[in-house]
Amino acid sequence: MTLAFRTTSATPIEAPALLRTMPDDGFSALQAIGTVARFARNATIFSDGDDADYSYRLISGTVRLCKLMSDGRRQIAEFVAAGDFFGLEWLDTHAFTAEALTDVVAIRYSRSRLDRLGQERGDVQKGLLTLLSRDLWAAQNHLVMLGRQTAKERVVSFLLALAERAGNSGMLDIPMSRQDIADYLGLTIETVCRTISDLKRQRLIDVPNRTQIALRNLEKLRDIAEGDL
Amino acid sequence: MTLAFRTTSATPIEAPALLRTMPDDGFSALQAIGTVARFARNATIFSDGDDADYSYRLISGTVRLCKLMSDGRRQIAEFVAAGDFFGLEWLDTHAFTAEALTDVVAIRYSRSRLDRLGQERGDVQKGLLTLLSRDLWAAQNHLVMLGRQTAKERVVSFLLALAERAGNSGMLDIPMSRQDIADYLGLTIETVCRTISDLKRQRLIDVPNRTQIALRNLEKLRDIAEGDL
DNA sequence: CGTTGCTTTGATGCCCGTCAATGATTGTGG
DNA sequence: CCACAATCATTGACGGGCATCAAAGCAACG
């Protein structure tokens, strides 16, 4: 009983929200080996270079995965939402730092038990391959954004991706700070602020407060993200 | 056209490529299901969005993995060297386009046979997880480069990474064009050229011709890559 | 209410992109 | 083998987009 995935996304830039969960068959097998872990806002869940002893699935809250340069420059690779797995790793050490953006509840899986389960159950291991494939797919879109998009395109793409995750509701919750957004987009906080203010001035979005943004003109915003100014 | 692939210890794959190969147990099992495929310089091996029916392991030559935006902007995600796998995919479609940078010989594995083998042999599937983990690890370092490094840091990091792959020999072979390098680094061709010329002027590298660069001062170059100007 | 941390806006400058021209190398046909 | 074209690489001039530096606004907290 293998559950089929539907990938009918026409646009290569956005992730279908459904794709972020584990295939159902593999997932149920995982329940047996996970334990609950809680982290306070701003806690470090694991650090870049740590032994990759545990992987996680996020139940509630938001997590950021980031890398730091020696002089303090920071790049956020991904924001993890409820339902997502993170820290899945088949090398010896974690490739990035995971930090709780809010208070967080997650399920923790030990690497060794995950390995053993994988050896016993091909469907579980295949599910893990699918999860990694998705992460890689996301990272590659992120590369295009950082390498080839303008500041405005990046900010709009980011908002549209959040909307996609949230199920395209008009009002978006923004759990991360402006600095976090800047570090995800490879910009400065000032550029992020100014770009958001521009979009507000053009009536493309509303910003009632720091943690909420409403998209008022999806069509125009999609054009901007694609580069049609 | 499809010849059986057999490998003895006399594979034409160099030692430095070892780090990027499949763990040995899993690798030998793969030999049974691969067939040889050849591609001419500039040929497209598969395209972004194609059904992910095949994965590959590169035997000789170089391949670039890239994504195109609708208006022609291009981002290269990775350069594939001999020994590397590429196009490993557990979603329905390929996430990027693979193009032959030179004439290329590769082993092609059908997705369905790879899947079947994976279900039968846990060690093979685990090897595939390791390969994907490495790709993800590489992509995340690439994100830092594109998001947070200056042009000079990017070019130097790129040269050092090439040196690493080549086993730290003094003289590097540069199989890709300046435009390819620019598209990998998220820069323009002019910036790449100017940066290389600067390094030459500072006696940090020699550039006898377009396809070769010699690193003259690894220590200083490493400092530059880290941001210590 | 004052403090603290985050956000927003303004002024200025520089890195890198754009546009343009020249040089170098490779490939092709006479 | 040379002439010519085509492609790629390099260098220069210039401008813009984004970073940097600085200050003011705003919300949460004791």
- State whether the beta carbon of A152 lies below 7 angstroms from any atom of strand D: yes
Looking at chain A, which residue has its C-alpha nearest residue B184? A147
Could you give the CA distance from residue A161 to residue A19 in angstroms, rounded to a whole number?
13
Please report the pLDDT score of residue A28 as a whole number. Answer: 75
Q: Note whether B73 contacts A129, CB cutoff 8 Å.
A: no
Residue lying closest to nucleotide D18, CA to C1': A191
- For A7, residues 6+ apart whose C-beta sits below 8 A from its C-beta are A16, A19, B91, B92, B93
A131-172 pLDDT, tens digit each: 999 999 999 999 999 999 999 999 999 999 999 999 877 899
| A-B contacts at Cβ under 8 angstroms | 153
Does any strand C atom come closer than 7 Å to the Cβ of B100? no
The residue that leads in pLDDT, B195 or B122, is B195
Give the model's confidence band at A23: pLDDT under 50 very low, under 70 low, under 90 confident, else very high: low
Band of residue A197 on the pLDDT scale cut at 50, 70, 90: very high
Residues of B in contact with A146 (CB under 8 A): 143, 146-147, 186
Q: Across B40-134, where does the E strand assignment appear?
A: 44-46, 54-60, 63-68, 74-80, 85-86, 97-100, 104-110
Which nucleotide lies nearest residue A200, CA to C1'? Answer: C8
Question: b vs e for B186-209, b when ≥16 Cβ sit within 10 Å of the residue's Cβ?
Answer: bbeeebbeebbeebeeeebbeeee
* Cβ atoms of residues A148 and A142 within 8 Å: no
Q: What is the per-residue pLDDT across B42-97, written as a single tens digit (0 to 9) for each?
A: 999 999 999 999 999 999 999 999 999 999 999 999 999 999 999 999 999 999 99
Can you give the distance from the CA of residue A179 to the C1' of nucleotide C6 in angstroms? Answer: 9
Rounded to whole angstroms, how far apart are CA atoms A217 and A203?
A: 8
Burial (Cβ within 10 Å: 0-12, 13-18, ≥19) of residue A33: middle
pLDDT given at position A199: 98
pLDDT at B24 (0 to 100):
59
**Residue indicated by tokens 């040889």:** B36
Alpha helices, H only, chain A: 24-30, 111-120, 122-148, 151-165, 178-185, 189-201, 218-226
Neighbouring C-alpha atoms within 13 Å toward the C-beta of A148: 24
The closest of A85, A95, A100 to A176, measured between CA atoms, is: A100
